[in-house]
Structure 1
């Protein structure tokens, strides 16, 4: 089958022919890929940022946002059948460790992460397990929801945390209205009464944010911190949901946060530099967010089927992977880029 593989860090990906995955265990599921999301993490992988953490052997197939149709199943699989449309939870999990038994799949002690530390979905087929496949509604197509498997799941996971600690009428600043941000906006609009203030450097992204539910859109032109403080009577936002995490965003985000506020970190790339006396004197909290649980993904698919979360996509053929990555890196992608084998 055709697959796009990492052959070396700081090198370009290569399209090559590799064997199709086969059933090796009773709970295995082979999925024919209908869409694979192109994520900024894929660029970070090529830059070598994940080399030490993942420990993956090269070459391997990239791609961690995947959806498609069930192609083959192991003899113990009962939750899906050949032909079912599915989206894949990013992790392959054991189901036996304490985290899995708590429903906290993302912290499985024995997990594999297709596209990160084992073969992913920039390919025609992918092997996962029965624990990782979520059936999707007949009204949804794999290519339309593929990026919800990670970008959407991460955004939902973080937005649900915001919803649990905020009340209607309070303020949440969303930093970044791109691939993840535009999903987080829709999720919060669907499950929370919080007032959404969305910041982005790109005026078009701000316009899209307002179209899909943001209460206030602000172009990040250097005056955004003061604009947020003015909106909140000088007190700052109750929550900041940061989908950027680099380029000075964290310092600005902290400056927009009120006392006892919560800073939800999703984007990454720089350090948060805050004097500890400022943290204790204001009792602000920093909360990390990594993907989400199987149940989070199932709930997100319900919102998608209800039409409350729509993924804005730009599609590319599998052999156009380099163009997709280049467009993403240059900020030319509106929403999420999707590879279709």
Structure 2
């Protein structure tokens, strides 16, 4: 099969032929990949940012946002069968450790992460297990939802955690309404009554955010912190969701957060540097977010089937994977996601 492979950090990926994966375990599921999302994390992988954390042996296949058709299942699999359309939770989990038994499978003690620390789905086939597959409603096509497997799941997970803080009359700020942020905005509108404020440096992204239903949009032209504080009567927002996490959004996000509010870090690449006396005196929360649980993904698919969440996508054939990565790196996919269609 064809696959997009990393051979060395700091170098472009390669599209090459590798052996097909084979079902061997009773709970394994072989999926024909119909759509694979292209994520900024893939760029960070190629740069080497994940080398120490993942410990993966090169070469390997990237791609952690995957959806497709079940090709073959192990002897103990009963929830799906060949021919089913599915989206894949990004983690392959054990189901037996304490986090899994608590429904916190994103912190499974025995997990693997296809596309990060083992072969992923920028390929024609991918091997996963029964705990990772979510059957799709008939009205959902793999190419329409693939990027929700990580970008959507991560955004939804953060919003889901923020829901108790967002009662009527509150404000939520979305910093960066691109590939992740436009999904987070839709989740906020679907799950909370909060007034939403979208901050972005792209007028086009702000226009799209307005079309999706954002209550206010703010151009990040250097005056964005003052603009948000004006919109919140000088107090800041109860929740700030930072989908960028670098290039100064870290300090902006803290400054936009109301006292006793919460700053959610979703994008990454920068550093959060807050004097401890400010954390104490303002009693603010800084909350990290790493993808989401199987249940989060299942809920997100329900919202998507109801038409409350939708992806803006640009499709590429698998052979054009390097073009898709280059377009993402150059910010030529505003407000949406690149999808490889093998």
Report TM bin, short chain: over 0.9
Q: CA deviation at 1:339?
A: 0.4
Relative to the length of structure 1, the TM-score reads 0.99
Question: Runs of 4+ in structure 1 displaced over 6 angstroms?
Answer: none
Q: For 1:1-341, what aligned pairs fall within 5 Å after superposition?
A: 1-334=1-334, 335-341=336-342
CA RMSD of aligned residues (A): 0.6
- 5+ residue gaps in structure 2? none
Aligned mates of 2:34, 2:213 — CA distance in 1:
29
Give the Å deviation of 1:166. Answer: 1.5
Distance between the aligned counterparts of 2:311 and 2:128, measured in 1?
Answer: 24
| Cα shift at 1:213 | 1.6
* In structure 1, distance between residues paired with 2:14 and 2:337: 21
Q: Which whole-Å CA distance do the structure 2 matches of 1:11 and 1:84 have between them?
A: 37
* Whole-Å separation in 1 of the counterparts to 2:105 and 2:70: 22
1:276-325 Cα shifts (integer Å, max 9, x gaps): 00000000000100000000000000000001000110000101111111
**SS of residue in 2 equivalent to 1:238:** strand
CA distance in 1, matches of 2:49, 2:5: 17
Local SS of the residue matching 1:87: strand
Length-normalised TM-score, structure 2: 0.99
Partners in 1 of 2:162 and 2:171 — Cα distance? Answer: 10
| Unpaired stretches in structure 1, ≥5 consecutive residues | none
Give, in whole Å, the separation in 1 of the partners of 2:184 and 2:211.
14
- Residue by residue over 1:137-160, the C-alpha shift from the partner in whole angstroms, topping out at 9 and shown as x without a partner, is 010100110000000000000011
Separation in structure 1 between the aligned mates of residue 204 and residue 313 of structure 2, nearest angstrom: 15
What is the aligned residue count?
Answer: 341
* Distance (whole Å) between structure 2 residues aligned to residue 315 and residue 164 of structure 1: 36
| Alignment partners' CA distance in 2, 1:299 and 1:115 | 23
SS of the counterpart of 1:35? strand
